[in-house]
Structure 1
Amino acid sequence: MAYLYLDDSKHHPHGFSLAAFAICDADPHEELEALFVECGFDLSSYEYKSSTAMRDNPGLQRLRNALRGFVSSKCQIAVCIVDGDKQIGPASLALLKKAILHPKLRGQRHQVFFDEGLFSSESRAKTIASEISGLDDCTIHFEQDSQRVSGIQVADLIAHTCGTMLLDALGKINKIVNVPNSGYDDGVEIDLGFEMWAGIRYSFLSVGSGADIDDEDFAVVLVEPHGLYIDPSASPEVSVAAPKRFGSMYLGCIH
């Protein structure tokens, strides 16, 4: 059984919204509770939000980095992209259908949790889900409170990260960050989109490319079959950029 949590990141000025699943092998709540405590926060009273200003808050930066580590070691990622936000809910269900066909997830029962506000109503969400074949192995919980369902807070971090990666791929941001312990000279500065990609590239739900071990593409895995859904509503610009950014991942050495 897998536990899947979904949240979204809206970027209306740039013509898209993105939703992401955090896919965990087990209910992550107890581990997240301990992680929050280690960073000086109480999960029962504090909710992590990527939109919170963190520049002058070392504690929040520490929590964000710990959650990034949790994603890298404990989660897999699947994303969908839409225009605006009206299709986020239906597109997320279409992504769910693709994701559970992954060899690791196929044929199992799953618990799936959607954040609040992704559908016009819970009844509408259930109607749409009932019309999609292939979701019978999922127990789906709509309109969930992210304060109480802590896995959604992890999905919030993933959606924000992937949204920033897509903004970078679209040429909408141009930010350079200093990265300590990068493997390069101290104080190296790299593109923000590259830094975010490097941190989560191993976590995307993917399958092998089928390349021979001597082929230069051997270190590339394919995300699009199960871990990426691009809604027909997406603009031509986004529909081109999203597969380039998320459709496959290079897992080889980048140092």
Structure 2
Amino acid sequence: MTFNLAIKNWLTIDAESITNYPDGVNQIYKCEIDGMLIKGVFSKEEMLSVQNKLNSKKEVRDPLYYGAIQGAILVAKGSDRTQYFQDATILREDLKNLFKTNYEARVEAILTKMSGGRTVEIPKEDAQKIYTPATIRFVHPNKGGIKLHRGNEFLGDGAYDYMNQIAKIVNGLSYFIVIDKAEQGGELVLYDLLPEQLTTPKKDLDLDKCNKRYLNPDIGDMILFQGGSIFHAVADVQGNKERITIGGFVAISKDDQKVFYWS
């Protein structure tokens, strides 16, 4: 199934107002809502504390073309997820030290209010194989940002074997929360493909012909959108500060009883 983004139906709401969208996760799945920017999920004061703690432990970051990451990435580990689960355990412990508010509890509280009554949880294969709730991304200045992509590109990776069994991950959702903003740039860019572009290979897309939506959430804000089907990128960061976000993916279970979130 292929969806085109109708970028007219984007919501910007306060965290307290998400109860007005009790089935919001499913509405994004069905393209009734393109996505939402949720204001004030975490306070700026708490995120400043998180920034300071992250900057005191830069040695735990892994370098990438756009900067660095902290935490496990499922598709980076292949079908053998042993190292992934070890890294996931480490990050979950790190999050308890980084955040004054329980990170997992806060994200689950937000998603639960939009879950349509579904239980929100982190996937687990067994008691020892629990997925990570998020990855922390550091986009450095003048590195070109994060390249054009969409989540559906990665679903054939062997790392997704289990998630493919339990969740509707095709056209699934992406989420992230801003820990620190760039001085300039670093926007999330969503691309609205023209009808004739829907079957065009990514390398052949003429992005200059696309309508674009630039989103620049503030510190502590959360973005939730259908990152599986929507081509998106992060604009190049300018200035002296790196852009720091934490997030991952969201999907409804195949039995329609749960909402999973992971990275």
After TM superposition, the score normalised by the length of structure 2 is 0.25
Higher strand share: 2
More helix by share: 1
- TM-score scaled by structure 1? 0.25
